[in-house]
Each structure stands twice: as structure tokens, then as C-alpha cells.
A and B are shown apart, each in its own frame.
Chain A
């Protein structure tokens, strides 16, 4: 059975020894994130900071709670979704995909039944800075909330649009939101609300239940409801409750909800920030202002945050784990729904936003170009620069197999394809453009366009030097485990049938 709330999720982690409570007072000013970074770097337990130095608060900070184990990043989510322990990545993807095929409509609950309404503050009682929002990296533009779900209005769905955009705190009631044009919620603000000089209601949901967090990280098509997909993923309805100051609905078991509106025509500084690329991104930009009208929360709220920048290279953090554990299965579903015969679509483990690996059949000439074009012009255009296509029998969750395919099967002469040179939009968070190229455009895209490319690392139908038969490999792995080797390292011990290399 899936967990119903963020704190149930934390309890499940505690049961398996994956959390560690830090009782000693820790400052929100870099200390909590420094400890979290150590935990991320060392693949250690998730730190729960019970006491915040210098602040009278009942709020608990939780550092990178969604980070999965380095060898099996999906493992905590698998547990949260009620799957059996020890699933391989491929089986985890299969199970999540199954659930995404059966969306379940949410259930609206009364305010009295919504834990997130235990405390309600409006008007002069709103005090954003009474919570210990962390200052995450030295050099950041300010304190951030960066692990939350934003709920925004959507004319096509009943329950609004869910997404994720980081937020820099400014004072008791104001924050700047990183709204980058090209994504659905920012587009709606820049090209709909703001031209009409109309404030856009928004709720920032902090500490939502895991399926909500997953769904906010997915590319749910317009006209479809994230709330229903979250229910499908959970295999039970997600409870929603109406906001106090708008007609938006928010997940009822959330730890903390900030209700407010984005002011039209108004900007505040945002950034720089040590971002998911693993580098400190500048320059400081002007971004839309989020004015907080109400704060509701549970008793002793748990406030999660992500130490961005630690999810590149070998490292995992919440955002890199969400890519692999949520966005990957969703993208696989999306591509299949669009008619592409895709086996799996998986973010490249070492830089999960800019490169994706897709294992796929290639039924006709030009298919890969068509597939790449579809993705780049729909959900992949701002963040993703590269796709790597591999044969269906290459496991995209196995980075060594993918690297081998690139090295041995991608001919520099014939298999690297660019979509025109520097014709595509790009978020300004990358590091290969100069600050001048990134610019500080009002709507947050790069001043300069960029290039997109794909690599055809399929074998063109040529036979690949085979290893051993799948059954022989499985017997070998069983023998090695009997001898004392770690079973988690062996892909063939999973129940999924398959013929991956």
C-alpha cells in the first residue's frame, strides 16, 4: 500500500534505517545543507534536523528526503508506492508505468479533515520568515524553498496545474519565483495573466506526499490532471482541500501550504543559485514576485529541501532521484502514447536533466529523427540538450552499457545529428554559454539560442558480440551471491524477463 503523506514516507525510511535524527541545534544558515551535502556525497542516511539554532520553531528541516540509494535510486519510492523490496530499475519502471495507465480522480476533503489546515494564518499573521528556510550554498542569492509543488490555475483541468519552480525568500510575505518561459505554468503567467494585468493565484505546497512530488516532476500533457495521475501512481485517490484565499485545491496531507498570488508586472531579484548542473549559476535575474496571502500547516511541520548541485556525477539528491524515479517512467509512457515504440526512456544518471537515454526499436528510416524532434519540440526543449538512442536490448539504466554503445556504435561520421545550429531555446541555467549569451531576459530564457542534438548509438541491426545466455548469467549471479557478493549488484536476480545486454 502506498504511503499517504510526507511524514508517513519519513517513517518508512526510518523503519529501514535510512533516516538519522540530528537533535543538536543546527543553523538554517548553511549548516543544515552542509550536513545534507555530506550525506548525499557519502550515500548516507537522510538527515532530519529537529532543532534549529537561534529560532523558536516547531518546524523540522529534512535534507534531501527523496534521495535514493546511489546504486538503486528508485528504491525509496518503490517502498513508498508499496512495491516489494529489491526491484530492479527495469521492473520498477514497469510497475510505475502500469499505474500511470490507470489515473484515479482525487477526493476532496473537508477542511477539518485536512492535516495541512491544522494551523491557519492570514493577513498580518503571515510571517514567511518564521520558518527555517535554508540558506543552501555560500553565494546563493538568498534563502530558498526548492523542494515543493506549485499549484497554479489551469483552464483545462479541474484541479489546477502542478509543477516545480524554485523560490527565493525576500521578506515576511514576498518571494521571487524562477518562472522560465517555455514551461506550462510560466507561459500561463507571462502570456496570459500578466498581459491582462491580472494577479495569478498560486499555492506552494511544501512536504506533499511522495506521489504528488513525483507527479509535479512529470510531464503531464495539457488537459490531463496531475492529481489524477498522482492517484493512479498511488493506487488510491489523493486527498485535496480547497485553499483559504483562492479556489485552488492543494494536497490535504501536505506539511505546509503557502497561498498567494504572483503580482503582474512586478519583479524581484532571483539567484544566483548552485543549481542542478552542479555549478553556481549566475547572473542575478529579475523574476516574478510571489506575494503570500495565507500560510496553513500541520503541527510541527517537516520542511524538506534539496541541496542542488549534488545530484550530478556519482551523486544523488532529491531532484536527480525524482528524474530517474518519476520523470523517466512518465516519459516512457508519454512517448509510447505518442505512437513511438519505446522500450524505456531514462535520464542519464550523471546529469539527469540535460541528457536522456532512450532504448527503442527503429522500425523505419528517419524514425529516430522524428522521435527526437517530437521530444525537443514538446517537453524536452528547455532543459534537454541531447538524446542518446540505444537498441531495445541495451538497458538505459545501466550507464556502462550506454557508454559502450556510444563508444562502439555511434559513428562520428553518421550517427551524431544536430537540429540546426543554435536555433533552439534554452534555460539560462546552463554553464556552457557566457553570461552575455544567457542574458537577463524578462521571461527567463537565454539571450542566445542553443543547439540540440541526438546520438544514434544503435547497432544498425549488426549482430553484437554476445555475452552469455540470460539463464546462464542468472545462474552465475546466483552462484556469486552464494559466495558472498552483494546481490544488489546483479540485474538478473530480478523477476523481470528480458534480454538486455
Chain B
């Protein structure tokens, strides 16, 4: 388990984080959004008059561009993996943070956030170009029930020094009554926020974290609301003042496309912060935002786990719901077990998720970090007539795309960009690659030559 502040420090040590000193004449979310759009490093906003902010820490390099680093290397590091870890290793690690069927023994330690600040406005949350109030993003809401503590993502606005308006999954307030206490944890270990997202996208918010793998990974501390990670940078304890406030959020975090969400009005009771707090922010609504990446990767982890436990064997090599497509497409690499398997696979994915209307099936040997090949194979290996397959227009609309929001049914599409298993091997065109196109003696000579001249 890596505390958030230590994680941010580690990114800087890996030259994957750039610090910016305030004051900022450009809204933080615009700076964060432009850095992500440019596939740049994570950013730390150093602010002497408030908490420090960090953006892009749960995101990564744009899959549309070839990079030396794995696109998901930042989250891999945050979850204790090697930055070169495979996508599958990351997906499995994410799955392991969720419900485990047992009761891992939680570790309890003292709370790092000990300084008190009565006024939540003093924390200086950022305000976007079009925001009415300062916003908080990438928080964890923690509530306590007889079953244990429940976590879910939370984001919202600072309306006054002691009043917040927030959005949470509908499943969370239904666990507690009006007037109940709730804690918002900001700047939690990557494992903790990933768990909150995972429980949400799998609609398991009612599962106490004491029954999840994260409890064995992240040391916890009790608060007025529920357990939170002991290394949390900022802890906001509050009560639920209104379960149905007349309030419409300016922003919508990406997990809200997966589950129903609602607004709450909260009265802040106490604010705790570490000595030099740093909390994550997401440029919500902008391309490749942190909340988009977390939603995409946790959804992918859940889908990967489900499809590989469906047929008795595990044919799926990897699966992505890429933030680059803003979660509107699912890409799956699989062994095509038999003719028509790609149809089954696509439709299982449609059954397991309502996010997307389009599934792209690629061959198992396509590596997930070579997304450029996926973006080529869609058009090269899929016959324009035979391999773009549309369902009858009787399916409910997917939640992420912008079209068909009128409640009407429509079609789903899967693109079969994998070789047809009925084809003989001689039908299958070999790829032009360095390994395929040259014998080993030529490869050795070329590599030696290139190493010599490229170095000059």
C-alpha cells in the first residue's frame, strides 16, 4: 500500500510529475486537461495558501501514441506493481481489491491527518472556468452500517464554509438514514480510490470493505462516518443534511455513466488535514481525465474477470474500455475458440455492461500497449460487409454515448477484427514485422548497425 503523498513524491522521482507554482491565472482543471490531452506527465500544483493539488496521477500516456512507458504505468505504480506490469496484471490486481468472499483482517493505525481546520473553504479547492463554486473531485465517501464500512466515489462543490453539495452513487445514501454521518476522504492511497470505483462500477457498494481485499492492503482508521485509510491527506466529517437537495451539479464524474447517482447536501462538522496536504483533482469532463481512466480500468477489470470465468476456460487475453474513446467502446483480445465465438463474446460483454454499444474483437496476439495495431486492424482485418455486425434495433441505449438519449431502443455493433477460425492457415496473411520479415542473422546485423549509428 502506498500513501497518496508518497505516491506523488514517487512520480516526481520517476520524472513523471511536473510541479507548477501558483498563483494560477488559468483554472487548474484547464491546465490539468491540457496536460492530459498532450499525454504529458502528472502535475502538482504547489499552493502556499491552500492544499496542494495533483492531477493526472491516475491517468497515463494516451494510447493513441506510442510511448516508452505503459499507458497504465502510473496506476500500476500506485497499486504496488512494477511500472512495466502488463495490463492483465493490473486488471487482476484491481479485481483483488474488491469482494474476496472472506473477511481479510484489517490493519488499524493512527490518523495522519491531525491538523484541524474548521472551515472547508480554507482548503482552497479549485474552481473551474464555468464552475459556480469550488469543486472537490476524486474523493471517497465512507459510511458505516451494522455490516461495516462502505465506500463509494464522491465529488461535489463547496457552497460555504460548512456546507457541501455532493454527488454519490444512489446505493450509498440508501444504506444510511438522513442525519447520518459521512466522511469524505481526499488524497487516499491509489488502492483505496480504485476500490471505491470498483465497488461502484460493479454495483457492490453495499459490500463492506471489511469483506474486500483492500482491507488487507490499506491500513485504516475510524472516523465519524466510517473507516478511511489512515494516511488520508484530508478528512472531512459531515452529516447528511438533505437527501434530495434542489441542486444540479455542474460536473459529472465518469462513474456516473455506469450507475445511477444522486445529490446530497452535507453539513461539515470537522476538517482534518496533514501538515502539507496534497489531494488529487480530476479535470472532469475533459479527455483522458483521471475519473475517466479509473472508471475505464475498473470496468475493464470487472469485465475481464467475468468473461474469463464464464466458459470454464479463460479465452480472453485482455480487455479495455479505453478512456481514449471516452468509454464508448470496449476492445477485447481473445482466442476465437470456434466460429461464432466472437458473437458470443461481444454479446456477453453487452450483457455485463451498459456503458457501450460497440465491441471490437481483436486477435489474442495483439498486445494491449500496441493500441495502434488495434486501430489499424479494425479497418484492415474486418470485412466492411461481413465483419461489422449490427443487432436488430431492439437494444436499450448505452449510457456513455451521446446519441439516442430519448429512451428509444436501437442497435448494437460488434466489429470482428480477428481472423476467421474457419480459415486455413494459408489464408492468413503474415504480418510485416521485424521478427517476421527478416531471418535472425539479418536482424542481428541490423540491430548492431542501428545501435551504432543511432547512438551517433
- Of A278, A407, A465, A469, the residue contacting B329 (CB under 8 A) is A407
Contact A434 B423 (CB under 8 A): yes
**Complex alpha-carbon distance, A421 and B423, angstroms:** 22
Whether B62 is near chain A, meaning CB under 8 Å from some CB there, is yes
Contact A406 B446 (CB under 8 A): no
Q: Shortest CB–CB separation between residue B321 and chain A, in angstroms?
A: 10
- Of B38, B286, B287, B410, the residue contacting A485 (CB under 8 A) is B38
Contact A37 B437 (CB under 8 A): yes
Using a CB-CB cutoff of 8 Å, which residues 58-105 of chain B contact chain A?
62, 64-66
Contact B429 A431 (CB under 8 A): yes
Contact B375 A399 (CB under 8 A): yes
Using a CB-CB cutoff of 8 Å, which residues 28-81 of chain A contact chain B?
30-31, 33-35, 37-39, 41-45, 47, 70-71
Q: How many residues of A contact B (CB 8 A)?
A: 98
Contact A412 B385 (CB under 8 A): no
Whether A403 is near chain B, meaning CB under 8 Å from some CB there, is yes
Q: A20-B453, A71-B65 are in contact. Are A489 and B129 (CB under 8 A)?
A: no
Q: How many residues of B contact A (CB 8 A)?
A: 85
Contact A413 B376 (CB under 8 A): no
Whether B18 is near chain A, meaning CB under 8 Å from some CB there, is yes
**A43, A349, A479: residue with the most chain B Cβ atoms closer than 10 Å:** A479
- Of B20, B37, B373, B411, the residue contacting A313 (CB under 8 A) is B373
| Chain A residues in 8 Å Cβ range of B129 | 468-469, 472
CB 8 Å contact bits of B94-132 with A (1 = contact, 0 = none): 000000000000000000000000000000000001000
Whether B338 is near chain A, meaning CB under 8 Å from some CB there, is no
Contact B382 A479 (CB under 8 A): no
**Complex alpha-carbon distance, A411 and B410, angstroms:** 8
**Complex alpha-carbon distance, A412 and B359, angstroms:** 11
**Complex alpha-carbon distance, A453 and B388, angstroms:** 10
In the complex, what residue of chain B is closest to A401 when comparing beta carbons?
B287
Whether B372 is near chain A, meaning CB under 8 Å from some CB there, is yes
Q: Shortest CB–CB separation between residue B373 and chain A, in angstroms?
A: 4
Using a CB-CB cutoff of 8 Å, which residues 96-140 of chain A contact chain B?
137-139
Whether B206 is near chain A, meaning CB under 8 Å from some CB there, is no
Contact A404 B326 (CB under 8 A): yes
Contact B450 A468 (CB under 8 A): no
Q: A20-B453, A42-B454, A407-B325 are in contact. Are A351 and B380 (CB under 8 A)?
A: yes
Whether B310 is near chain A, meaning CB under 8 Å from some CB there, is no
Contact A404 B324 (CB under 8 A): yes
Whether B381 is near chain A, meaning CB under 8 Å from some CB there, is yes
In the complex, what residue of chain A is closest to B394 when comparing beta carbons?
A413
- Of B25, B376, B385, B456, the residue contacting A312 (CB under 8 A) is B376
Contact A489 B450 (CB under 8 A): no
Whether A280 is near chain B, meaning CB under 8 Å from some CB there, is yes
Contact A432 B381 (CB under 8 A): yes
CB 8 Å contact bits of A152-175 with B (1 = contact, 0 = none): 000000000000000000000000
Contact A31 B357 (CB under 8 A): no
Contact B372 A430 (CB under 8 A): no
Whether B208 is near chain A, meaning CB under 8 Å from some CB there, is no
Q: Shortest CB–CB separation between residue B294 and chain A, in angstroms?
A: 18
- Of A279, A450, A479, the residue contacting B31 (CB under 8 A) is A479
| Chain A residues in 8 Å Cβ range of B432 | 137, 274-275, 278-280, 308-310
- 11 A-B pairs in the complex with CB atoms less than 8 angstroms apart: A70-B66, A278-B376, A312-B376, A403-B325, A409-B403, A410-B403, A411-B404, A431-B381, A435-B427, A453-B385, A475-B25
Question: Which 4 pairs of residues, A with B, have the shortest CB-CB distance?
Answer: A309-B432, A407-B328, A451-B385, A413-B410
